[in-house]
Chains A and B, each alone.
Chain A
Amino acid sequence: MSLLPHLGHGVGLRTIHYPHVLDRTARADWFEVISENFMIAGGRPLQILEKARELAPVVLHGVSLNIGGTDPLREDYLTELELLIRRFAPAWVSDHLCWGAVGGSFAHDLLPLPYTEEVVRHVAARIRQVQDRLGRRILMENVSSYLTYSISSMPEWVFLSAIAEEADCGILLDVNNIYVSAINHGFSPLEYLSGVPAQRVGQIHLAGHSSQGDLLIDTHDHPVPTPVWQLYREAVRRFGRVSTLVERDDQIPPFEELLAEANRAREIEGEVLNASSISL
């Protein structure tokens, strides 16, 4: 999204990194934090986030908006999100293009949606409702999936693009998720990239995954693997300079290792963009 700042190459801030925030050695371009982890009344996490903000810009990334759900959007959740936005002034706010709750119960997972016109309209209307409430455009992230529905009538990238256009929201493109879903469902990740409207991509995620039988699982417990780096090169070719973030949620390595991956993303972006300018 041209209206979003280019923050560079950041890392997902997790509890294990808090000591680095406290001693001010967490020197990333920017941090992304899980919004729900800070929807609390007080205590250490909020103090850490205050300190992280002094070091680098912060972005709020939610996991429980349930934008694709059929339950009404949770008013208490939106209020808490608003409070966080007011207190921490994130560069932007994002969540996932999925559903995660039904009948008032939460799965705490990113569950896949059927790709139909009906669902495009349903989700886009809810995104507009959230954007109106927050007074800002939000970014929606494509999720990894392990199943698709026989009732879907369009590929995932058409679904994602249609929602972004109809809701006038941004896209957080998770390159690892594209790769994982491409392997699991047998589509071309390059076709996915070429089907996404470049002007709406405001952020890129990079992460690792693991195998389970024939399926790849988005476990965020490994370094970014070679095929995902290769796909990232293609993403930079297609979308240009986009704020990029390396995520790790399990087997989290020392902060320096995560930072090294963010720096590798920076190098790849530089290589691709330099090559593009030379070829012009």
Chain B
Amino acid sequence: MPAPSLCEVQRLFWESVAVKPGRESIAPAFVRLVCGRDDSDRKIRIAVYSDAYFLRLRDVLRDDYPRVAALVGPEQFDEVVKGYLEAFPSRWPSVRHLGHALSEFLRHRTDTPKCLADLAELEWARIEVFDAPDAECATIEDFISVPADAWPALRFSAIPALQTLHAQYPVHRLWSGGASLDVSAEETALRVWRSNDCRVFHAPMDERESAALRKMISGGPFATICETFADLPEAGAAQESAALLVRWIEDGIIHRIDQAA
């Protein structure tokens, strides 16, 4: 029988270590390719790689999703990881991207609490902003130095390391709270960002802040942001909008402030 090609060797290797993560799935044809005293010795050698594959990637996901892992506990997290790796094997040279679809994966599972997918989305957003592109941040001085009559036309741009997410559950409480998954559904909007000193934060937003931030991100001018507070007197709406912008600037999520040309 001719020797298998390199491609065939690698296909058999992959089938034996990665197709069924955390479960034995050694291809008999691969066992025959491996040197050893006997089949038991050969399988022990192959198992070093299959065990390492699962354990290494499990640890990566546990580091990326510490709250999900803690809340479901080690045994169920292992089961989640086995299913996830089978459905979403890593497609990137950098392992940093491995967990990109865990939230989506959890959303389709019926054996884990529904809030878990939202929590995973928050944890992944924190990873994405951690290494998002750098950008200078606008300062309070940049804002208050603008003449008052130019404010209505002011436009703002957000730093790249800012994400917003909308969850069905209060995931910020799951993230920081105790060890219970027993939470009631509650529409929750959050912003997630990396501050100037590279720390990652998230904060829940009420409806007004969420709407105002959406307008700011989509390029709406200050006057449009003020419309979020249309139920208030004009001066009050401007004051509330300005207060929001000051908070965003202090948090470091505003990249630029542009006056109309």
Residues on A lying within 8 angstroms of B by beta carbon are: 36-37, 39-47, 64-66, 68-70, 74, 77, 99, 101-109, 111, 113-114, 116, 118-119, 122, 146-152, 185, 212-213, 215, 217
Given the interface contacts A42-B132, A146-B49, A147-B49, does A70 sit within 8 Å of B93 by beta carbon?
Answer: no
The docked-state distance in angstroms from the alpha carbon of A114 to that of B36 is: 15
CB of A105 within 8 A of CB of B6, answer no
CB of A42 within 8 A of CB of B9, answer no
CB of B90 within 8 A of CB of A151, answer no
B146 sits at the interface (CB 8 A): no
Residues on B lying within 8 angstroms of A by beta carbon are: 3-7, 9-11, 13-14, 17-18, 32-36, 42, 44-46, 48-49, 52-53, 56-57, 60, 89-96, 98, 130-135, 160-161, 194, 198
Which residue of chain B lies nearest to A44 when distances are taken between CB atoms in the complex?
A: B198
Which residue of chain A lies nearest to B46 when distances are taken between CB atoms in the complex?
A: A147
24 A-B residue pairings within 8 Å (CB atoms): A36-B93, A39-B94, A39-B96, A41-B160, A43-B161, A44-B198, A64-B93, A64-B94, A65-B93, A68-B6, A70-B6, A70-B10, A74-B93, A102-B10, A104-B91, A105-B89, A105-B91, A107-B53, A146-B48, A148-B35, A149-B35, A150-B32, A151-B4, A151-B9
The docked-state distance in angstroms from the alpha carbon of A101 to that of B194 is: 33
CB of B14 within 8 A of CB of A102, answer yes
The docked-state distance in angstroms from the alpha carbon of A28 to that of B158 is: 39
Contacts of A104 in B (CB 8 A): 91
Given the interface contacts A43-B130, A105-B90, does A150 sit within 8 Å of B33 by beta carbon?
Answer: yes
CB of A149 within 8 A of CB of B160, answer no
CB of A69 within 8 A of CB of B10, answer yes
**Which 10 pairs of residues, A with B, have the shortest CB-CB distance?**
A64-B93, A42-B134, A40-B131, A44-B198, A147-B45, A105-B89, A146-B48, A41-B133, A43-B131, A36-B94
CB of B7 within 8 A of CB of A42, answer no
CB of B194 within 8 A of CB of A147, answer no
Given the interface contacts A36-B95, A212-B48, A213-B44, does A43 sit within 8 Å of B11 by beta carbon?
Answer: no
Given the interface contacts A147-B42, A149-B34, does A41 sit within 8 Å of B131 by beta carbon?
Answer: yes
